[in-house]
Structure formats: C-alpha cells, structure tokens
Chains A and B, each alone.
Chain A
Amino acid sequence: NAGVMQNPRHLVRRRGQEARLRCSPMKGHSHVYWYRQLPEEGLKFMVYLQKENIIDESGMPKERFSAEFPKEGPSILRIQQVVRGDSAAYFCASSPLHTQETQYFGPGTRLLVL
C-alpha cells in the first residue's frame, strides 16, 4: 500500500518561471492538504481540497498560487512567476473520508528559486 507520493522531490527554478508540484494521495483517500515549510520555520497550512473542490484556501497567498485536485490524477500545486521567497519545502498530506482525520504526509518537494 503505497504512501503519499510527491514529485518532483527537488525542483530548481529561476525567478519568473512556473513551478508545478504534484501529490498523489494514498489509495482511497479523498482529502488532500498542502503545507509549506520555510527554512527554519514550522509548517503552515496552505489549502485543503477534495476531489474537484477547494474546501479551504485560507492559507494560500492570494496571487501566483493555485491548487487543484481533479477527478482523475494527482493534486497539483502551481506557483506562477516564482520569487526567491517561494523557496521552501512543500508537503502534501492526505486523509480518508471517514476517520478521526489522521493525516498522512508525503516526503515533500523542496523548491529552490535562483
């Protein structure tokens, strides 16, 4: 039973480019969360999605960031026109529909903006 998968594990972008981060939840999980961890800081919630719906995006920056979780395929976190301050580890977590909501985290994508 594969865990949460994220790819790429490491991503290098130049300022102004786009970054696409992918997250495949555990089998049977329909809830996906994205968190960001800036260097030497704790994890901060960004967005919570169910299939084809954004449930809570209160932690998402208003500009340049978007997320989706289509009916088929992985969840995508997209960052347009990246800036150096976007350099961070981005973690995805998934949880099943009907439990007391343990979240299972992926290994993260480490984004470096040059």
Chain B
Amino acid sequence: DAKTTQPNSMESNEEEPVHLPCNHSTISGTDYIHWYRQLPSQGPEYVIHGLTSNVNNRMASLAIAEDRKSSTLILHRATLRDAAVYYCILQNSGNTPLVFGKGTRLSVIA
C-alpha cells in the first residue's frame, strides 16, 4: 500500500471547522482514500472514504485534490468529542488489511 504523510498533531477551537491534511504523492489510480479515527481507549472508527470526487457524510467531508496526491478531511464544527487520532489510509483493493501510520492527533479546545 502507498504511504501517506500527515501532521503529527493539530489543535482546534470548539465549534470551529477543522481541516486535516494528508499527502499521498505515490497513490495509484485504483487506491481509495480512507479516513478512520480512534478516540481515546476505543477501537478505530470509520469516518469517510473516496476515490476521485469529493465526498460528504454525516460525520465529515473529504476533499480530494484533482491530481489525487493529497486530500483533506474536513470536520465542519469540531466538538470535544472529535478529539482523536485521525488516520488517512490508502487501500487498493477490497478486503485487504489496513496499514495505519501515526495519524494526526487532534486536540479540541473548549
């Protein structure tokens, strides 16, 4: 699986939007971009995924660069419950193991 690069940590004020970047310059044409997050003392939780077009769901939005070499996870209004480690993961084909990097630790300040 191709490698992703994320900032180690980010901080946000509560109720502000948060943009979490991910670089994946060696992405292949068939790699999907997945985002998971892990809240303290819990298992990872799926957030969103996409291939080429931007995606929205109830949790977040995913903006994918036109060349697909980077993407951004957008939390529209951060809450204290969004404090977690966010992982950007590339997955080439179905039902394969996820390769977790170090992720970005998001802190939300009240």
Instruction: Give the interface of A toward B (CB within 8 A).
Output: 4, 31, 33, 35, 42-45, 48, 56, 59, 91, 93, 95, 97, 99-108
Which residues of B41-71 have CB atoms within 8 Å of chain A's CB atoms?
Answer: 42-46, 49
Interface residue from A93, A100, A105, A106 paired with B94 (Cβ < 8 Å): A100
From known contacts A42-B102, A42-B103, A100-B32, infer whether A105 and B45 are also in contact, taking CB-CB under 8 Å: yes
The answer to whether B95 and A31 touch across the interface, beta carbons within 8 angstroms, is: yes
**Could you say which residues of chain A place their CB within 8 Å of the CB of B94?**
99-101
**Could you say which residues of chain A place their CB within 8 Å of the CB of B45?**
105
Closest to B45 in A: A105
Complex CA distance for A110 and B16, rounded to whole angstroms: 34
The answer to whether B42 and A43 touch across the interface, beta carbons within 8 angstroms, is: no
Q: Which 7 A-B pairs have the closest CB atoms?
A: A105-B43, A45-B97, A43-B100, A101-B94, A42-B100, A105-B44, A91-B43
A-B contact count (CB 8 A): 56
Tell me the smallest distance from the CB of B62 to a CB of chain A, in Å. 14
Interface residue from B34, B100, B103 paired with A44 (Cβ < 8 Å): B100
**Could you say which residues of chain B place their CB within 8 Å of the CB of A103?**
44, 46, 98
Name the prevailing secondary structure of the B interface residues: loop
Number of interface residues of B (CB under 8 A): 21
**Could you say which residues of chain A place their CB within 8 Å of the CB of B87?**
42
Which residues of B76-110 have CB atoms within 8 Å of chain A's CB atoms?
Answer: 87, 91, 94-103
The answer to whether B95 and A101 touch across the interface, beta carbons within 8 angstroms, is: yes
**Could you say which residues of chain B place their CB within 8 Å of the CB of A33?**
97-98
Complex CA distance for A74 and B45, rounded to whole angstroms: 21
Complex CA distance for A102 and B91, rounded to whole angstroms: 10
Complex CA distance for A57 and B73, rounded to whole angstroms: 31
Tell me the smallest distance from the CB of B73 to a CB of chain A, in Å. 15
**Could you say which residues of chain A place their CB within 8 Å of the CB of B99?**
45
